[in-house]
Amino acid sequence: MAADSYPSGVLTVMRRGIPIDIRYEPRGFDTTTVFFHAALASSKYKFPVFSGAGISANLPTNRIFIADPSLCVSPELRLGWFAGNHRQPRLQYVIRGILNHLVPATQRMVTFGSSGGGYAALYYAANRDGAIAVPVNPQTNLAKYNKAAVGRYLRLAWNLTGDGALKTIPPVTDVTRAYRAPGKRVFYVQNTNDRTHMKGHFQPFMDSLPVDHDVHPVLAEGEDGHRPPPRKVMRDVLACAISGSAPTAAIGNPADLASG
């Protein structure tokens, strides 16, 4: 954290005995994109887990991939929202500090993630001046997410149980509050056929925004359920954020994006 420069590759910051693994790829661009992975589909993944390399392979951006250290706490835990655990209660603050070191203030920062990674993309962009968040089907308030998944996180990451446990942990678990102030830019990608997230996360988030917000919804039709929208839609929206261009008519019309 005290270094003046950082080598490319996987960097590991040990925090209270648990590694925070970061894959750092400075590529000579003036924008850096930070990628947060979604929940793991199984326990067979090898750590550290990084995602987003394929969708960003040919985009003009430096890249940072972060593995959620909370998943190291228990082999049964597959989703942690990059929010912390009982051994790293201030993880959100620590990751913010790491990103402030790796991404110079002179660079634009874009954050990208899907589902639980989308929550992280929203949170960390909200805490960086000038950042642009590109969340895909994100959770926006953990209290409105699947009770079994949240309960598993509280039990395995925090050693807590009970209906009121979520309110007792230190991390921010409702990102809508951070966007009630104007000036925060988001390209919010949502599969309209993910009905639970449309009703429980997308709509409450949009309803909470101030009149002069800078949040641009990209509603795309994908498979039924909590599935990502077409890959080209996600990539084109990410490319727009990386370029720093103003939201275009295409972002308001996903059909234009899908047709290229």
Residue range 133-160, pLDDT digits in tens: 999 999 999 999 999 999 999 999 999 9
Res 225 pLDDT > 50: yes
Separation of alpha carbons 191 and 220, rounded Å: 5
**SS3 of 255, please?**
helix
Query: Does residue 260 surpass a pLDDT of 50?
Result: no
- Residue 4 — pLDDT band, cuts 50, 70, 90? confident
Nearest-angstrom CA–CA distance, 100 and 121:
15
pTM for this model (two decimals):
0.94
Q: How many residues does the chain have?
A: 260
Distance CA 73, CA 66 (A): 16
pLDDT for 244: 86
pLDDT digit string, tens, across residues 46-59: 789 999 999 999 99
**pLDDT in the model for residue 47:** 82
Give DSSP secondary structure letters for 21-70.
Answer: EEEEE--S-SEEEEEE----SSTTPPSSP---TTTTTTSS-EEEEE--GG
User: Are 128 and 44 spatial neighbours (Cβ–Cβ below 8 Å)?
Assistant: no
Q: What is the mean pLDDT of residues 71-84?
A: 95
Amino acid of residue 141: N
Task: Identify the three-state secondary structure at position 237.
Answer: helix
pLDDT exceeds 60 at position 161: yes
Please provide the average confidence, as pLDDT, over all residues in the chain. Answer: 92
At the top level of CATH, the class of 9-243+252-259 is alpha beta
> What is the pLDDT averaged over residues 201-208?
97
74 CB-contact burial (10 Å; exposed 0-12 / middle 13-18 / buried 19+): middle
- pLDDT band with cut points at 50, 70 and 90 for residue 198: very high
What letter represents residue 18's amino acid? I
For the chain, which residues make up each domain, given as ranges? Answer: 9-243+252-259
